[in-house]
Amino acid sequence: MLPVFLLSLGLIAIIMTIMAVGVIFSNKELKGSCGGPGNCECERKGIPKKCEQVANQILESINETP
């Protein structure tokens, strides 16, 4: 029973490693829930995305610090 479990665990680990390497070397940008750039309701309305708002707030707080 234990050898079958270890073999299964090893096989799953190898498959996950291969998939991770494939993602790293494909060098594709991750897409958000809007389906990629230029296709988001926020962009059409001119509203900055949440991550951009947070980044701007961090930069502003850094610039304000004496």
pLDDT string in tens for the chain (66-residue length): 999 999 999 999 999 999 999 888 888 766 655 555 555 666 666 666 666 777 777 788 887 766
* CA–CA gap between residue 10 and residue 14 (Å, rounded): 6
The whole-number pLDDT of residue 48 equals 62
Question: Which phi-psi region, left, alpha or beta, contains residue 46 (left: φ > 0; alpha: ψ -120 to 50)?
Answer: left
pTM of the complete model: 0.43
Q: Measured at the alpha carbon of residue 30, what is the angle toward residues 49 and 13, in degrees to the nearest 5?
A: 140
* CA–CA gap between residue 29 and residue 50 (Å, rounded): 18
The whole-number pLDDT of residue 44 equals 61
